Amino acid sequence: MRMRQVRQVFVTVGVLVAITVGFRMMQKLDTADDVGAISATARVRGITLVKDDGVEFRLDANGDRWMILFFGYASCPDVCPMSLAYLNRELTKAGPAADTFQPVFVSVDPGRDSPEVLKRYVAAFSSRIVGATGSPEMLEKLAKQLGVYYEVERSDDGSRAKDTASDKSDAARTNDTNETNDSSYTIVHSGAFFIVDPRGKLIKTLSPPQAPGALSAIITQIHDQNKV
Amino acid sequence: MRAYAKLRGPLLPCLLLPLLAAAPAHSPVTVAKAWVRLPAPGGHMAALYLEAANESDTPETVDAVTVSGVASAHVHETFTDPKGMTRMRAAHDVAIPAHQTLSLSPGGFHVMLHGLSTLKPGQTVQGSLRLKSGLTVPFTATTRSAAD
């Protein structure tokens, strides 16, 4: 009778340990579900941008680092500085966990934002953020893959002076911002942060308004679930 | 003496009018917390934010904002469209309801400043809020770095 009770206790403990270990493994393998993946299929593939140091940058071959992507442009007066300042605060708040991530400011204004301009621009916010841009075709491809939308607006009342995107999908309407160098236009763009895993899979989108602590919580969660 | 008594009625307001004009008028609209986010290096546009409180019983409407040393200043609004995209539009006739405060703050209403001369964080610029009622409210805005 006593042996039977001892055996039952061992079996129960064994089952509990197995469940706990299994659950942790599932958490590690499927981080996307835990942080609320928005799409099972959105993935960055075959995207090469130019970093602010002039070096080419493959977004889907980023070693073991996750990416935090933000789309904007250096002449943006309100949302971009506000968002990059927020990003810097959240990276600081996350502490060492933030080292798991490469934050990238993707300029959708290659006509005005050369790598040199971007380097000076992002440095004003954080030394951890990398500026990057690319050809209009490459930016359009990236935008389509992530479901990002951006377009040039020229007139002061916000009406479109030119829309070359009429034959494109809603998800990636873009204009060729490479053909002009004037400063009279603004660009409509997403105000969200895109969290992409090292294999290029879009894991989460953090849309505005971003609450203090929201991004650092995601950073910490992903870091904790994926640390070796 | 009788002549003075006859004139006293119409004369009195005339005598008092200059005194009233010289007295400091209390504006029903006051501006506070005005600041300018300077463009980061490589950027061109600055943004002005402020709070305008209307203490009167009468609604006011913003006609224009002027800032010294800039090429242009336009009131804009940042908003999120139904597709979740962040857009900006020119904001006309922005209201300051009676006994309420209009807040121009990051991610919402702001004044886009183009051609702001080179300034450093911590400096000040002079501006004025012009209302459709004819009232003009001067203010001083402090400059901050883009990363603030």
ipTM of the complex: 0.73
pLDDT at A2: 61
A113, A121, A190 member nearest B86 (Cβ): A190
Q: Closest residue of A to B45, CA-based?
A: A77
pLDDT in tens, A159-213: 333 332 323 333 343 433 443 445 567 887 888 999 999 989 999 999 888 999 9
Tokens of A194: 């895109």
pLDDT-above-90 percentage for chain A: 52
Of A77, A121, A186, the CB nearest to B47: A77
Tokens found for residue A101: 């991530």
Q: Using DSSP, how many helices (H) and how many strands (E) does chain B show?
A: 1, 10
The CB-side HSE value for B73 (13 A sphere, CA atoms) comes to: 23
What's the burial of A51, exposed, middle or buried (CB within 10 Å: 0-12/13-18/19+)?
Answer: middle
Contacts of B90 in chain A (CB under 8 A): 156-158
Distances (CA, A) of B119 to A135, B10, B67, B147: 33, 55, 13, 15
Low-confidence ranges of chain B (pLDDT < 70): 1-26
* Residues β-bridged to residue B141: B125
pLDDT at site A150: 83
Residues of B in contact with A207 (CB under 8 A): 80, 84
Q: Answer yes or no: is pLDDT of A57 > 50.
A: yes
Domain boundaries, chain B: 29-144
Confidence (pLDDT) at A182: 55
Check residues B12 and A133 and name the one with the higher pLDDT. A133
To the nearest whole angstrom, how far is the Cα of A114 from the nearest Cα of chain B? 9
For residues A211 and A89, the answer to whether their CB atoms sit within 8 Å is no
Report the C-alpha gap between B21 and B14 in whole angstroms.
11
Residue A209: predicted pLDDT: 86
Query: Is the pLDDT higher at A163 or at A145?
Result: A145
Alpha-carbon distance values, A216 to A89, A122, A176, A198 (Å): 9, 19, 34, 18
Best CA proximity match to B49, nearest among B38, B62, B36: B36
CA distance linking residue B32 with residue B64, whole number of Å: 17
Chain B, window 17-56: residues with a beta carbon less than 8 angstroms from a chain A beta carbon: 37, 39-47
Cα dihedral: A34, A37, A40, A45 (round 10): -110
Model confidence at A36: pLDDT above 50: no
Query: pLDDT at residue A158 above 60?
Result: no
Report the topology of domain B29-144: Immunoglobulin-like (2.60.40)
**What's the pTM?**
0.74
- A216/chain B closest Cα distance in angstroms: 18
Is B48 in contact with B113 (CB distance < 8 Å)? yes
Assign A153 a pLDDT band (cuts: 50, 70, 90). confident
pLDDT band, very low/low/confident/very high, at A62 (cuts 50, 70, 90) = confident
